[in-house]
Structure 1
Amino acid sequence: MPATPSQQGVDDVSERTQQNRSEGQSPATKAGRRLAAQLAAQKAAEAKRRRNAWIGGAAGVAVMALLITVFVIVDKNRDDKPATQAGATPSASAPAPDAPTAPPAPQLPEGADPALGSKPAVKAGTGELKKLTVTPVIKGTGPAVKKGQTITTNYVGVFYKDGKEFDSSWNAGQPASFPIGVGQVIPGWDQGLVGVTVGSRVQLDIPGELAYGKDAAASGYPEGPLRFVVDVLAAQ
């Protein structure tokens, strides 16, 4: 059934209104979508930049921490090196390892002459030595040495003719002890030191036959007449 004129007009108006509404909303909707997409892209880019900045900052901190650790280790190893390896000069108060040191002073008997604390200078003899000669240099106040006792001495031995030293307890840094008068030492000592008082210094001029004998050189001992200066420090 065909529509009436009035109804037809209403329908036309309604159709045009819907068409206009549809055509008017479409551009706005597309623009909104594009704007939303742009905003989303901007947010994503910003988030990416922040993430990259955080990663870069963390990496920088890690590198800095590594450099600090390496510096601390190197500095500690430098501090742990001995001063001599680091080029420092050793203390002047510390003696060098190979520096010679003076031997300790001997223990002197009570009341002894302080001169017994120093090594004597011994010179060569003069003339031909024919017999044992005992010459007191310092007279001790202790008891006289008896045959069979063990005596403690410091001594210097030289060749009688030229004064060249061949033996000395001073060089060893300690006195020598031995029985006297019982054949444990050369005859010149056995005969020349019995009766000497403790605390004495005596000079013994000993002919070759009372020293090491005629075969001394073959046995590796000093040959010929000898001179000894002997300090008697104790007798027991």
Structure 2
Amino acid sequence: MTERTDLLSKAEKRAAVKAAKARAARAAQRRRVLTTVGAAVAVFAVIAALAILVVRYGGSSDPAASPSVAATEAPFPPVPEGADPALSKKPDVKAGGGTLTSLVKTTVIEGTGPAAAAGQSITVNYVGVTYADGKEFDASWDHKQAFTFSLGGGQVIKGWDQGLVGIKVGSRVQLDIPPALAYGENPTGGQPAGALRFVVDVLAAQ
């Protein structure tokens, strides 16, 4: 009986060792699974964070690239640096007096920039009224967009092509233009007839 008991004890010990090894293997496997899951969760968290940044900042992880921060609307009017602050306000243009037969230039504000020359691209703000009664017919201020054209290139009326040559950037000038240098006495296409008065701010020339 003693020998049989010893044999059973050895078998039980081997079974116990085997069971312990099995438990250890299962524990190791669980650790590997948990490690893998943890890594996957970490990767998912990084992806989710990047997705939030893409949605928030329009495809960039840099907050400075956010349209609300970086893409600010251009100021109007684009007054040159160092120019008279009065250029930031729309002028009040009155009617003229008498009969206008030739182009008359009157400097309202003298700028300090370079003089505009024929062939240059210049940018201006303007208000246009009929000379006789001061009725406004056009103004870049109302569109909140300055006007750019080639000076002396025939893109505008002759009164502008002639009257703005030599005007310094940063200046405000009044142009009294007779019909022959404007749209004439009986224009077609809805343009104003007769003599015209413009107040023009020269904002850039290049």
For this structure pair, what is the TM-score category when the shorter chain's length is used for normalisation? 0.5 to 0.7
CA-atom RMSD in angstroms: 1.3
SS for the counterpart of 1:182 is coil
1:104 to 1:165, Cα distance in 2 relative to 1, 3 A: farther
Tell me what 1:155 maps to: 126
Q: Tell me which of 223, 228, 234 is aligned to 2:193.
A: 223
Q: Tell me which of 104, 112, 128 is aligned to 1:133.
A: 104
1:122 to 1:211, Cα distance in 2 relative to 1, 3 A: same
- Displacement over 2 Å in runs of 4+: none
Once residues 224 and 157 of structure 1 are traced to their aligned partners in structure 2, the CA distance between those partners, rounded to angstroms, is: 13
Once residues 129 and 104 of structure 1 are traced to their aligned partners in structure 2, the CA distance between those partners, rounded to angstroms, is: 37
Shift, 1:213, TM fit:
2.0
Between the aligned residues of both structures, percent identity stands at 66
Q: Tell me which of 58, 80, 89 is aligned to 1:118.
A: 89
Tell me what 2:202 maps to: 232
Alignment coverage as a number of residue pairs: 133
**1:187 equivalenced with 2:158 (yes/no):** yes
Aligned AA (1:202):
V
Task: Structure 2: state its 5+ residue gaps.
Answer: 1-73
Deviation digits for residues 110-153 of structure 1, max 9, x if unmatched?
A: 11000000000000001111100000000000000010111000
Deviation digits for residues 80-129 of structure 1, max 9, x if unmatched?
A: xxxxxxxxxxxxxxxxxxxxxxx953121111000000000000001111
Once residues 137 and 75 of structure 2 are traced to their aligned partners in structure 1, the CA distance between those partners, rounded to angstroms, is: 21
Deviation digits for residues 131-178 of structure 1, max 9, x if unmatched?
A: 000000000000000101110000000000000000000000111111
For normalisation by structure 2, the TM-score amounts to: 0.63
SS for the counterpart of 2:160 is helix
Once residues 145 and 104 of structure 1 are traced to their aligned partners in structure 2, the CA distance between those partners, rounded to angstroms, is: 23
Once residues 206 and 165 of structure 1 are traced to their aligned partners in structure 2, the CA distance between those partners, rounded to angstroms, is: 15
Once residues 146 and 168 of structure 2 are traced to their aligned partners in structure 1, the CA distance between those partners, rounded to angstroms, is: 17
Aligned AA (2:205):
A
SS for the counterpart of 2:124 is strand
**1:208 equivalenced with 2:183 (yes/no):** no
Contact 1:144 1:194 in 2 (8 A): yes
Once residues 117 and 219 of structure 1 are traced to their aligned partners in structure 2, the CA distance between those partners, rounded to angstroms, is: 32
Once residues 184 and 178 of structure 1 are traced to their aligned partners in structure 2, the CA distance between those partners, rounded to angstroms, is: 7
Once residues 191 and 147 of structure 1 are traced to their aligned partners in structure 2, the CA distance between those partners, rounded to angstroms, is: 9
Task: Structure 1: state its 5+ residue gaps.
Answer: 1-102
Contact 1:104 1:173 in 2 (8 A): no
Once residues 76 and 118 of structure 2 are traced to their aligned partners in structure 1, the CA distance between those partners, rounded to angstroms, is: 28
Tell me what 2:47 maps to: none
Once residues 170 and 142 of structure 1 are traced to their aligned partners in structure 2, the CA distance between those partners, rounded to angstroms, is: 22
Once residues 79 and 190 of structure 2 are traced to their aligned partners in structure 1, the CA distance between those partners, rounded to angstroms, is: 33
Tell me what 1:198 maps to: 169
Deviation digits for residues 173-221 of structure 1, max 9, x if unmatched?
A: 11111111111110000000010000000000000110012441x2321
Highest relative contact order (Cα 8 Å, sep 6+), 1 or 2?
Answer: 2
Once residues 90 and 203 of structure 2 are traced to their aligned partners in structure 1, the CA distance between those partners, rounded to angstroms, is: 14
Once residues 77 and 144 of structure 2 are traced to their aligned partners in structure 1, the CA distance between those partners, rounded to angstroms, is: 9
Tell me what 2:35 maps to: none
**Larger Rg, first or second structure (1 or 2):** 1
Greater fraction of residues in helix: 1
